[in-house]
Structure 1
């Protein structure tokens, strides 16, 4: 609020009345001020200039308080930094687990009998998981072979040489990512998804040596900036091998890596093709890996189109035991599945009619969940085939419940016949 000009009575004649004095030019005049009346519906009742002054004063006061308390905080800060430096990524994940239990998966108790039953269905010669390093080495080998055998078009066959300065810069980024815990990432790393040769640049940073927190931040960046096919490659070549290695080493998943899996669902198609399906196709997916990755699907929303495609692929691939866990999780989401997917799942179960090995309990539970959710979407012939299957593959507690659900089911072809008869009666 500005200061009003002082009124000097000596400048006005004494015999002039008060009203005339006010109207004179030398008298005090009230300036036209814009009066802002506050309204409950209008939240912006403070103008921009006043807001700047308030914020400036608040920053000054905050800086003064920080400087006064800095001496007391130095010892505490140094102690916390030393603790972070000596704490491994896995221990850090445990601390975060205690802080945010709702966002982390439950403690998993693995039954040894179930695990042994699943091992019977695992592939004896699982495919080796390919990493980003394997892909880069194969590309270099292929290009060198082409250069030795063809010389007609050298420019197209020439390897993409990386500037030494760029290589040195991303080697420095690598050192930062190895010790990263929290805070801002280097800007050079945020530019990697926008580069044409992003795989080569990523290879320089050595993703296998990143901290778990850096892997989470990298997943956020790549899931947001890469197209679906490129994100699929990052999930398959970088994230999935790291998750499997962490589970094999610690028997539980680091908090940051679990959050990275959840963040990867930002692109559900890339998640299905880059993590879920390769994990099952490898043939050596353990019960622990299936439960933890499955919990990511169970806790987050997935579009029905991607889930239907995943169900179709899982039902058609070779059975490894872990398939039943993902089938059951997707069944529990209660999607309105196309009949093609329902038929494929029915055939998936029927083909075990001649199976001589004892099926795990997870297989019977998946069949029960399917019958409970989609018994109205199967045909009469499929229902009879499933009832016949129960005579060959049975479980003392689960099979009676499956049989009861099937016998009480009103199949889709029965509903169609009833609708046709009702239409004929109306006509």
Structure 2
């Protein structure tokens, strides 16, 4: 078989063209391209078919429907105008005036051309239940007569806030405890009445976490607790409660046991475990001062009780701000020897007191300059041994004055120093007076104005 030359292969095609093969088999092959208009028509038909399948109408169909609806609406309005002369509207038993119809026509022109058909109903009388009327008045506003004012969310929130504030201002009332709780804590009270050492009951340990712990604590009868139980309970409550809550425990339990322990003892001494409980209560200084010290001074307190309680302050470190506020409160009380004991102890702790407290101390000692005997006879027994200058003050007052002069002689002004020297002359003590005068004269005046480096503003620590 010979090879085909290149010229022969290029001149004769190897097969017929594809369109000739298709036409020879009886098929129709498009020779001219489709027109753009035909393609647009087919595309629009296809979109119309898809829209009909999805339930949507094209623009032309929508216009026809809107036109028909507009014509029907105009026919209805024409019929209503014809019957309007008789004063009765179509399908309604209520009289309608011509002015009302004109208003309705004006309002209908403001809206779109397509509007739904109006439905008319006959008037029916409906009886409303009282509960439904109250509920309607509570949440909705009615101009006709069911309700007069609407209640919104802001009003409800403000009302709830006012209710909470009123509840806080009301005194706490007793809570009715379940019988099982009362029985359980009565048994715990019996255990604490004989407690000496060991772990406390678990039910007693959860007391500080209860909201009404005071009511439950009353069931245990704290007056019958042993001193060991008082000490353990003080540690528990002071460490787990806030200062304002711990103050309640200290005032209701610890203060009463402190007084009863001194009164019941033969030598008028304090039980060792109650003394330890007082030291533990200083873990919350604000609770100690407001729950123990100030109520003790305001009530009946003799010098012995004050001396025992003040010894706790000498052995425990107390923040300066708490001590400053407590000292200011004591200086504002009426003069009592027991109060002066606490003043002296707080002065001897050698705090860097703010100038506000120092000024209060100066005024406290200055007011005894010209004090008369009538001012002291209600609070102490006075022995006036022929002294024409005034009554004799107790030795504890002179010791407090000496402690102030020794510690703060350089923190007073020259004017204050002169007034204090005059007080020493008026209330002279033969053993302590010369020492007070010597300390005051040896002091240097306090720096004032911009030269002062000491903070003079006291923050209320309570």
> Does 2:338 match 1:290?
no
Contact kept in structure 1, 2:330 and 2:343, CA below 8 Å: yes
SS of equivalent residue, structure 2 residue 235: helix
Q: CA deviation at 1:331?
A: 1.2
- Give the Cα separation in 2 of the matches to 1:159 and 1:344: 42
Structure 1 residues 168-214: Cα deviation after superposition (integer angstroms, max 9, x where no partner): 00000010000001111111011111101011001000111111100
Retained in 2: the 8 A contact 1:380–1:413?
no
The corresponding residue for 2:238 is: 223
Match of 1:322, SS?
helix
Say if 1:159 and 1:314 are closer, same or farther in 2 by CA, change over 3 A.
closer
Gaps of at least 5 residues in structure 1 are 1-152, 420-427
Within the candidate set 323, 343, 346, 1:307 is matched to 323
Q: Which of 186, 195, 203 in structure 1 is aligned with 2:210?
A: 195
Structure 2 portions without partners, runs of 5+: 1-166, 374-390, 454-462
What's the TM-score, normalizing by structure 2? 0.55
- Cα distance in 2 for residues equivalent to 1:378 and 1:313: 20
Change (3 A) 1:222 1:398: same
Is residue 354 of structure 2 the alignment partner of residue 338 of structure 1?
Answer: yes
- Structure 1: distance between partners of 2:447 and 2:433: 24
Deviations along 1:122-153, whole A, 9 cap, x unmatched?
xxxxxxxxxxxxxxxxxxxxxxxxxxxxxxx9
Answer yes or no: is 1:275 the counterpart of 2:309: no
Out of 398, 403, 426, the residue aligned to residue 437 of structure 2 is: 403
Change (3 A) 1:158 1:296: closer
Cα deviation 1:47-101 (Å, max 9, x = unaligned):
xxxxxxxxxxxxxxxxxxxxxxxxxxxxxxxxxxxxxxxxxxxxxxxxxxxxxxx
Aligned to 2:278: 261
- What SS is found at the alignment partner of 2:337? coil
Shift of 1:322: 1.2
Paired position in structure 2 for 1:214:
229
2:253 matches 1:238: yes
Once the 2 structures are TM-superposed, how far is the Cα of residue 160 of structure 1 from its aligned partner? 2.4
Structure 2 Cα separation of the partners of residues 236 and 407 of structure 1: 43
Say if 2:251 and 2:292, in contact at 8 Å, map to a contact too.
yes
Residue 415 of structure 1: CA displacement? 9.9
Alignment of 1:20-39 (within 5 A): none
Q: Is the 8 A contact 2:175 2:215 kept in 1?
A: no
1:47-66 counterparts in 2 under 5 A? none
Give, in angstroms, the shift of residue 354 of structure 1. Answer: 2.0
Q: 1:205 aligns with which of 210, 214, 220?
A: 220
Using the size of structure 1 for normalisation, the TM-score is: 0.60
Q: Do the aligned partners of 2:401 and 2:436 also contact (CA within 8 Å) in 1?
A: yes
Q: Deviations over 1:10-57 (max 9, x none)?
A: xxxxxxxxxxxxxxxxxxxxxxxxxxxxxxxxxxxxxxxxxxxxxxxx
Higher helix share: 1
- Residue 395 of structure 2 corresponds to 361
Q: Distance in 1 between matches of 2:421 and 2:260?
A: 42
CA distance, structure 2, for counterparts of residue 158 and residue 266 of structure 1 = 30
Give the deviation of 1:159 after TM superposition. 5.3
**Distance verdict in 2 for CA 1:159–1:315, change over 3 Å:** closer
* Alpha-carbon distance in structure 2 between the residues aligned to 1:415 and 1:384: 20
**Alignment equivalent of 1:182, drawn from 177, 197, 203:** 197
Alignment partner, residue 46 of structure 1:
none
Tell me, in whole angstroms, the C-alpha distance in 2 between the residues paired with 1:305 and 1:339. Answer: 12
Contact 2:320 2:351 in 1 (8 A): yes
Q: In the TM superposition, what is the alpha-carbon distance from 1:158 to its structure 2 partner?
A: 8.2
Deviations 1:401-427 (A, max 9, x none): 1011111110104797899xxxxxxxx
**What RMSD over aligned residues (CA atoms) do the two structures have, in Å?**
2.1
Distance 1:416 1:230 in 2: 42
- How many residues were matched structurally? 264
The question of whether the paired residues in 2 share the 8 Å contact of 1:216 and 1:260 is answered with yes
Deviation of the 1:379 alpha carbon: 1.1
Deviations 1:99-126 (A, max 9, x none): xxxxxxxxxxxxxxxxxxxxxxxxxxxx
Counterpart Cα distance in 2 of 1:317 and 1:159:
34
Give the Cα–Cα distance (whole angstroms) in 1 for the partners of residues 253 and 261 of structure 2.
13
- Aligned residue number for residue 417 of structure 2: 383
